[in-house]
Amino acid sequence: HRPYHHALAGLVDQARARFGAAVLLDLPSMPPIRANGGGAPRIVIGDRFGRSASARLTARAVAEAQAAGFPTAINSPYAGGHILERHAAPGRGVHAIQVEIDRSLYLAPGLSDPGEGLPRVADFIAQLTAALADEVLGRPTAIAAE
């Protein structure tokens, strides 16, 4: 994994040098979470309990997931793993957020082939990326209905 993390660190450093800040999104998938009585999150936003990203960026990520209609949780059951621990440095302008995505949102039953929800999840990731970029760079984001 060392070459991967070395290359990733270089890309993060380049982004921070160019823009004054960087946002690293870690996008793993998770199995569907079963909750008694429903209401299980389909998206889990992790910021290592505030240690890997500014509260403003985490709040924006949560707002984007909720605006897309996904039940969302923060840091539970996934708070962010090695990538966030290794690469995040919010005090230096390097923010890292983990976005765990329920596989059943974009895979067909059986969870091995693309499903009909894939375009919706792809749109969410594109919107989230744009929103976080705008947030960290201080630019306003157009409201989706505009």
DSSP string, 112-137: SSB-TTHHHHHHHHHHHHHHHHHHHH
Q: 130 falls in which pLDDT band (50, 70, 90)?
A: very high
pLDDT for 35 equals: 75
The partner residues of 73 in beta bridges, in order of sequence, read: 44
Question: What is this structure's pTM?
Answer: 0.90
**45 contacts 64 by C-beta, under 8 angstroms:** no
Of 73, 68, 67, the closest CA to residue 42 belongs to 73
pLDDT for 1 equals: 87
> Has residue 141 got a pLDDT over 70?
no
> Has residue 144 got a pLDDT over 70?
no
How far apart (Å, rounded) are the C-alpha atoms in residues 15 and 57? 17
Sequence-distant (≥ 6) Cβ neighbours of residue 25 within 8 angstroms? 96, 97, 98, 99, 128, 129, 132
What does the H/E/C string look like for 57-108? Answer: HHHHHHHHHHHCCCCEEECCCCCCCHHHHHHCEHHHCEEEEEEEEEHHHCEC
How far apart (Å, rounded) are the C-alpha atoms in residues 58 and 143? 19
pLDDT single digits (tens) 56-115: 999 999 999 999 999 999 999 999 999 999 999 999 999 999 999 999 999 999 988 999
